[in-house]
Every structure is written in structure tokens, then in C-alpha cells.
Amino acid sequence: MRLIQIASTLITALLLAACSDQDGGASTPNNGHAENAPYVETGDLAQIKQHGRLRIITTRQPEKNTPVSTQDHPQAREQALAQRFARSLGLEPEFIFVEEYSELIPLLLAGKGDLIANNLTVTDSRKQQVAFGTPIRYVHEQLVSRADDSVSEAHDLADRRVAVHASDSYAETLKRLQKRRFQPEFAIEHVAENISTETILHGVAGGRYDLTVADSNLVDALLQNRDDLKVAFDLGAVRPIAWAVRPDAAELLSALNDFLNRHHLTEKQVENYTDDLDAIQKRGVLRVLTRNNAASYFLWRGELLGFEYELMKQFAERHKLKLEMVVPPSHQDLIPWLLEGRGDVIAAAMTISDERSRQGIRFTRPYHEISELLISRSDETGLNEPADLQGRSIVIRESSSYTESLNRLQQDGISFTVQAAPEEMETETIIDHVASGEYDLTVADSHIADIEMTWRDDISSAFPIGEPRYHGWVTRPDNPKLLAALNSFIKKEYRGLFYNITYKKYFKNPKKIRQHVSQRTDGNEQGALSPYDELTRRFAEQYGFDWRMITAQMYQESRFNPDAKSWMGALGLMQVLPRTARALGFKGDLHDAKNGLHAGVRYLSWLMQRFEPELDVGERTWFALAAYNAGIGHVRDARALARSKGWDPDRWFDNVEKAMLLLSRKKYARKAKHGYAHGKETVGYVSRIKDRYRAYLDLTGAE
């Protein structure tokens, strides 16, 4: 009987294992938890959210012997982006790995995954099976040979064998090539589906295969560190690479497109610079590290505000620099990010201290005097001096200057507990926890306490902790020119007219303070970017834009004033010319918010369609915005001029925008088809919309 039980148990285990192997061909999910075993879900986003995770179908990571770093591999970059997309939906990303490329679509359609993110080329046959999102990128399919192979055009393929997977889009391309008239005969060699493209390329280099085909982004990554392979020639036209969802997952597809459009618009190559003011002026951008709070930098009715922001904006303007605000994840990241070169100066109400100076930074002269105040609930009694802290608990960020002040009190023999608040938590949020009773006490700079006690009556400041202290801006030690310029600015402005007006605006004007607190967009459910958020969302979604980008453009056009009228006769929120509106089918009053906004968004969409669809979505958007401001003819002239100058005609920033500036010179305007252009105005227009849009995303916490 015992043997029968053992045999039965073994048979059951084998059957379960077999069922698991048949369940879509997916490997064990990367977190390995039993509760994440494969399940079937064929519903849309609402049903997917019930499981709490987004299942991302992909092939395995590149082999360890691939001659390119894993993070630079196109597949690895897609997987990282897919993780961000999942988390933007509030879902945990889970990778479902398949061994063969041909399994991707069947697994998705069977409901054993939710999204394919795997360098998938959009083809007519695939569009009949799945729904594709906004293209991730556009690529060329390239024929790859050994470096010493003489093949350089299609006629050289006679009697050759090209190795590809039967399920690849490459196989379709090669079949079309075979059908061309006068095409020399060549063979398509179908390679086993579980052999990766990288392995096929190794096989070509080693002589196992004659030739193969791969997408240009993969070829660029793999061939950069090897000289035994080469690109023989491009096959066919540019083709889109996109992610796929089930054809009836409309809600998921909409969320995906919204995310990818934001990604294309905000993606930028982050470069670290540690050089001094002369190099900063050459780049034309001052990067300011700060924090998002009511004292330093915040968003109010679509307007970027804050005491530190306005002072830095004034400094940047004096030096003819564009201001870029950079908000690290937490307070403790400010100094490391500065030293790494992710910003040029810290302006975040940072208290000057010897301990911080020992971290390898330099403070400017003081620009703000404060007291550190003990904050308690308003009904608290008996807190009159430091001795009254005996036995109490004080919650602060460990990286704050309050740590030094409280340590001195403890060294004086006063026994109380210091608890660490999360480093990403602002002092105003800690104060809120004190008011609710979650925290016992905290410490705040006097200017922050002034803001909080202007609009709330459930807290009070008990007494100062130590002597008055000073705030300073922070630079790297090897940037003496920037430090000198900042000190010169502070010396001239400190407690002068501009400084005093700005100070009173944020810390001494109760009406303004209440408005800023109650109507802040960031961190406030009642806050709005503009009075027209509902309309903006509707029309932006209808035409495939991110509504925050449209809001940034609307601010630039009219400052949200529906009655605005330009000297050229453009009207309304989006400053559309009446003749343009009529051409687009609008006959109503453009001063009406709905008509004016709709006409502007439709016009921007029309302009987007005037540019090549294979261009990156972000680049088409920048070109469309430039055309909105200057006219499409001037943008086409600028692209042609950029090409003649050796600049990339398909990229706006640092390329076509430079050509647009040249069109305001007679030398270049004479030769342009559409003549003179107000290049500086157009370049500034696009740049300001981009910067405001990115700030909207940063300050509203959008992924």
C-alpha cells in the first residue's frame, strides 16, 4: 500500500510538471514566487489590474557573451521601459520569457501574457492578429555578412544562403526580394526558432551561415565592438518596431500610447557635466538642483513658482542662460547629484554647515536667515524651552541640518528620541503628520513654519532650537567662476527691491500663501494645471496628444486667457487665426474656450501629419510646434538648410533649430524658399513648451 501511495504521488507530480510545461512555454517568472504561476486573463486593463501585475512577454536577456553591455542592448532597453510602463499603471511588472520568437503572439492571444515588448516589427500579417501601440522606434532591416565578404548589393546574392527564423519579418522581406524580376536566385535558410539573432550572427562570423538579416538597432549595438562582421546593404524601407496587445484591449492600448507619447517627448540623453561657468554659458543652460515644496519650487495653475525658483530664474536671465530645474528623488540625493555633475548648483533652502562642507562642496554667501523652530500640535502645552523635550520624540529627515542642532541638545544632557523621516518627505508633510498625531514633534525652518501657520491652525511653533542659521546655494569646489557669479548676485540683490518683493510674495503675504497652498497642482487633488483641464484632456485624447503638453502650449500661447488676441489677429486659448480655423471646419467664436482649444489641437494634429510618419513621435511633435509658430514652409526650409550644413534634418534640438536661427540672417533667408523667419522666436517657443511640459510631468509625478 505504501508503494502505491508513493507511485501515485510521483505520477501526480509528473502530471503537474507536464501541465506547467505546456502552459504557454513560459519560463518561471523572474521573481520565482509560487503565487505568480501563469494564469489566463484575456480581459482589458480593468481585468488586468485585478491581478495587480502586468505580464510582459519577451525572449530571454542577451547572452553573456554578447559583445555589448546588457543595458545597451535594444531588448534590455525595451524591458526596462516596459517595467516603467507597468509601474505607471500601478502594476508590478512580471516577465514571461519564451524560448522561441514564434511563441510571442500565440501566448498573448491565449491570455497568458498582457503585452509583447520584444523588438517586434509591425507587419500586415501581424496587424491582423494583434493591436500595435505607438512605434518604439523605426529601423532598417540590414543584410549582415562576414567582414571579408564581397556582397554589397542584391545582385551579389546569387547562389547564397540567408539564415533567418521562419517567423521573423525578415523572412517576408526576403521572399519579396526573391520575387523581383531579374533577381539572382538565393536560398532562405530557416534557422531553429530557439536560436537567437545574436547566435546567428556569431554563426555568420564563424562561417556556419553565409548571411543573415537583423534590425539596424540590434546591428548597431552588436557590431560596435567587433570587426569580423559588416552591414552589406539595407533591405527595403524603414519599418516600425512596436509593442503589441490583444486586439480587444482598447483601454490598455490607450494607456500604452499615452505612456509612449510622453516617453518620446521627454526622453533625453542625460549627460553629467562638472565644468565651470564658462562651459555652462557655452551650453546655454543652468541646471539647478532643488526640491518640490512650497518654499523652493512648485506648480500653481500651470505656473512654475517658488522662492528659490524665482531667484535662480533672475540669476539665469542676468547671465543669458536658460533655466532647467532638476528635482532628485530625495533630499539626500542633492549633494551626490551635484558632485556627479547632474546639476550645476543646489538651490534648495540648504542650511550652511561645516558638516555639509566636509562632503566636498562650497557654499555661497548667505542669502536667507532663518530660525529652526520646534513644531507641535496647537493644543500642546508645557513646551517652552529645550528642557521640556525630556522623554519626547522628534521626527526629522536624517540629512537635514536639524540633526546637528538636536544632537547638540542631547549632548547638553536633554534626553529625547530622534526618529528618521523618509528622505523624500518634505518638511511640510512631516508637519502634517504632527498635526494628525502620527508624529509627536518635528523641527522646521521659520519660513516653512510661516507658510504652514498662515493657512492652518492645528500646529504651533513652540520655541527656537539654537541660534539663527543661514541658507546658502551650493557649488562644486572646482567651480570658482560660478561661485563668484552667485556671490556677486547675492551681494547685489540680498534685501534689495527684487529680493524683498519675492520674499514677501512667498512668506509674508497671507492671501498669496493661501492661494498657493489651496491651488497647488502638485500633491493636491483639487489643484489643476489650467481652468480647462477637462476640455484639454478630451481633445488631447481625441487627437493622440498628452494633455499636459497641450496645456504647456496653451500657456505659452495665451496664459490660459480665452479672450487673448495677437497683433496678427490670432484668437483664443490657442491663438488660432480665423482663416486657419475656417479651413479646419470651425465657424464658431474662437474666444469660446471649447472652440478655440479644439481648433488649436486639430491644427497641431494637422501639422503633425505633414511630417514623415517614420520620424520619431517626439521629433514630429517638435517640428509641428515649430510649424505652429513659424509656418510649415519655414520648418521645411530649416530642415533643408540643416541637411546642407551636415546637421541631422530629422532632429529638432541642436540640429534643425540651429538652422532655424540662421534663417533670420539675410545670407540664408535669400536662398530659402519661404524667405526670412523669426528664428529666435520659434526656437524659444518650442524650447519653452518642452521645458514647461517636462516640469508639469515632474511636478505632478507623471511617469
Identify whether the C-beta of residue 649 lies closer than 8 Å to the C-beta of residue 639: yes
Cell numbers 554667501 label which residue?
Answer: 365
Catalytic site includes residue 557: yes
Q: Are 322 and 687 in contact (CB under 8 A)?
A: yes
Q: How far apart are CA 198 and CA 214, in angstroms?
A: 9
Q: Where are the alpha helices (DSSP H) in 188-296?
A: 197-206, 216-223, 250-266, 277-283
Which of the following is catalytic: 557, 612, 614, 703? 557
C-beta separation of 24 from 116 below 8 A: no
- CB atoms closer than 10 angstroms to residue 292: 21
Within 13 Å and on the Cβ side, how many CA atoms surround 34?
0
Give CB contacts under 8 A, 24+ apart, made by 490-499. 490/364, 490/365, 490/366, 490/367, 491/365, 493/311, 493/314, 494/366, 494/367, 498/314, 499/311
In contact, 108 and 57? CB cutoff 8 Å: yes
Q: How far is CA 465 from the centre of its chain?
A: 40
Bridge partners (DSSP) of residue 233 are 143
Instruction: Taking the CA atoms of 79, 105, 34 and 18 in sequence, report the sign of the dihedral they define.
Output: negative
Render 26-75 in DSSP notation, one character per residue.
Answer: PPPPTT--GGG--------HHHHHHHTEEEEEEEPPPPTT-SS-GGGSHH
What lies within 8 Å, CB to CB, of 380 at 6+ separation is 460, 462
DSSP label of 331: G
Kindly write down the DSSP assignment for every residue of 283-295, as one continuous string. HTEEEEE---BTT
Q: Which residues are paired to 325 by β-bridges?
A: 288
167 vs 51: CA distance, rounded Å: 31
Q: Which residues are catalytic?
A: 557
